[in-house]
Amino acid sequence: MSTIRCVPGHELTAQDVYDIWRIRDAVFAVEQQVEDEDADGRDLLPTATHLWLADADGPTSYLRVYVADDGVRHIGRVCTRRDQRGRGLSGRLMAEVHRLWGDETLVLNAQAYLEAWYGTFGYRRSGDDFDDAGILHVPMTREPS
């Protein structure tokens, strides 16, 4: 079983940035045909942390956590490489997020079809559905445990 990499945004190497871009591009741009730019200015923030699992072909599952201007920790860009799905990899990353920051309020915008999956981790709907990059999303919040 591979080890979770957990790297603050300002400590990412060029190789890390490239590998993260590859998995996010493969999942969001190629598979889901999201045309919005992925680079949103948050990846290199000192309050951003990137978590991922990898094999010889690069990241197998990935997510990003950052503290927004509102002071709340946000989870996003959750993705798993197509050939690695169904193995619980994103669940391992979510468990690590909760181990590190479970004593804080955590928020995320889930793709609507994943609402029940995030619910298994204690997230609850916190608003109305909305469109983000052509995909229906649900705002969700997890209160401190």
CB environment 15-36: b (16+ within 10 A), e (fewer) = ebeebbeebbebbbeeeeebee
**CA-based nearest residue to 47, from 22, 76, 68, 25:** 68
pLDDT bin (cut points 50, 70, 90) of residue 19 is very high
All structural domains of the chain: 5-102 (3.40.630.30)
Given a cut of 70, whether residue 35 has pLDDT beyond it is no
With a threshold of 0.75, does the pTM exceed it?
Answer: yes
Would you state the pLDDT for residue 9? 94
